A and B are shown apart, each in its own frame.
Chain A
Amino acid sequence: MKTDNLVEALVADRGSGGKSIPKVLAAALALGGLVSTALFFLDLDVPQDVAQAMATWRYDLATWRFDLKVGMVLLALVLAFRLCMELSRPFPPVRPVRRLLPLAMVAAVAVAIELTSFPSTAWATRLVGSNSLVCLVAIPMLALAPLAAVLWTLRSGAPASPALAGAAAGLLAAATGATLYAFHCIDDSPLFVVTWYVLATIPVVVLGAITGHRLLRW
């Protein structure tokens, strides 16, 4: 086939496309979040303490620690979304991790405040909290449906590095899971949040990177 012939086929297909990837990604993310939440209420084989935690809905926005926790997960959500969009383009990424710097700064300040407001003997208790294991299980579980949705959407992207884009998708999915979970988790200490939420994010990022490496090639 001559190149001119291929051009004719491409021109005939001009009407396809025209999708705004950020919009589709936002919709996919919302859908994934909804599916995740719904799965928890369908009485699946969820560990009992996770199910119990999910059944309690927290709305005490009055305490600053809770506000800060919600603020941090929402900031993570916004930054991960932008990172995802950036990494789904064909340009070689320039220091992508630097995009998460604002979050790291907020987290550092929050931890510093927490450390100064409690004597060092209380730090360990604040860190371990009351249900760190539940957090480690719940966030990755809640992140699975959003991860599938995000990866599916990013297939229409053209990432310079599919593995990196997949990792960003994992981060975005974990941030979604963390946002959903934050409203149920009874531990608000920044020490707890920074430690366990980050630990819970790692497997999702790794899964995203591995899947992305295969799925997002173009």
Chain B
Amino acid sequence: MKMMKSVMLFVLAALMLQPAFSQSEKFTGAMKKNIAALDSALSKNEIASLTDIAASFERIGDAEKTQWLPFYYAAYCRITLAFVKNEVAENDIVADKVDELIGKASALEKNNSEISLLKAMNASIRMLVNPMQRWMEYGQKSQQYSQDAMTQDPANPRPYWFNGVSLKNTPAEFGGGCGAAKPLLDKALELYAGFKPASELHPNWGKQVCEKEAAGCK
């Protein structure tokens, strides 16, 4: 009976503790699950599931209210989907949604290098709708944001990765191509090697893609 009591007390204590304890546990767990799903979707090229994963991240963000990472990942999923799908006619609509998500993230986390990079990527998505017409506006914005990202965290490899990939996909006649992209990709690889995310939930993506891109530029 005594033992039963102590078990009861333990269970009650556990139940009472649960809200505080499980909230962060729940957040971490859900985020990890989503990040794993995102990694898996990208590695298996199951891009259709990116919308689901983005929505799931957004739900976490909306429920938590103080965490910027869910919004960051939600935006990242939608940006990646837009780049892969390459249906440029839809890009303005996607970019509006991404702006909304980035807005929520940056309201919680100011001057963040990772968020600035998303802004750069989103500007590129808008530019792709009509490059000839929009280069002046969105091309410059994209460059400005990735510059911001480099300044805000010089150890972040992703802005170098993004600029490198962008240049690689630009024809050599326009100053792009491997020759121009290689130094940036190499710099990104160097930074990836030493990069330690602030936590297991913080952005830590792009290394493998970068290695592949760099390998394609030999």
Are A and B co-members of a single complex?
no
Chain B positions within 8 Å of A, measured between CB atoms, are none
